[in-house]
Amino acid sequence: MDCRSSRSCRSLLGLTILLMVLAVSGGCTSALATAMWLIKGPNIPAEFAGLKGTRVVVVCRPLTSSLYTNPHIAKDISRQIASLLKANVRGIKLIDQRRVDEWIDENTWDEYTEIGNALEADLVVGIDLESFSIYQSQTLFQGKANFVIKVVECKTGETVFEKYPPQTIYPPNHVVSTQDVQEGAFRREFVRVVADQIARHFYPHDPRAYFAMDSARIY
């Protein structure tokens, strides 16, 4: 096979040249570290890695009256989080979200341990959704959400992880005209963004991805 016509060979050649340049300018060790950073990205570790190998319930509950009229938003966020955790946390055993939704619809509850114990889970990933909106004005979209992330141990009731992230804003640095995107499409995309901002606390991730969303296309 002619190396000049091979994409993998061209990539290898480019990497080799990059390493040579960096090695001359900053030493072999720093050159290799910089090259790996460019290839893989600056992944940071999970803030809470205790979900591995455990039975987990994911629950998002609205805390304000304005969100009670749209309970599907909290359920959609829960499903998205569960999907991301399943894909990224090795050995996690997630309780089916259909069982979670059914239990919530049929029961009155106050504490996360109630639903966790009822569904025989070890831990509950609980999301207190304090606010969720998609409109900047009548003609402009910009999603904004506030939430608290908790991990509660079902047997003891102990909160083993708690996080108060800053407000999630999407897109971070501009607004979207309502003439360009349908409301349903923007809401679905913002739900995915919120779920990603929550789920990434539990597995390694690239922190640059959030800012890259400014240039992402919304369908």
User: DSSP string of the chain?
Assistant: --GGG-HHHHHHHHHHHHHHHHHHHH-HHHHHHHHHHHHH---B--S--TTTTSEEEEEEEE-SHHHHT-HHHHHHHHHHHHHHHHHHSTT-EEPPHHHHHHHHHH---SSHHHHHHHTT-SEEEEEEEEEEEEEEETTEEEEEEEEEEEEEETTT--EEEEE-PPPEEESSS--EETTTS-HHHHHHHHHHHHHHHHHGGGS-B-TTHHHHGGGPPP-
Average pLDDT, integer, range 133-159: 97
- Res 80 pLDDT > 50: yes
- Whether 86 contacts 139, CB under 8 Å: no
Task: Look up residue 77 and give its two tokens.
Answer: 């966020």
- Going from N- to C-terminal start, the domains of the chain cover 3-40, 55-215
Q: What is the pLDDT of residue 217?
A: 55
Question: Which CATH fold topology does 55-215 show?
Answer: Rossmann fold (3.40.50)
The band of 63, judged by pLDDT with boundaries at 50, 70 and 90, is: confident
- Res 128 pLDDT > 80: yes
Read off the amino acid at residue 41: G
- Res 92 pLDDT > 90: yes
Contact partners, residue 61, CB within 8 Å, separation at least 6: 74, 126, 127, 128, 129
Q: What is the pLDDT of residue 71?
A: 67
- Res 163 pLDDT > 60: yes
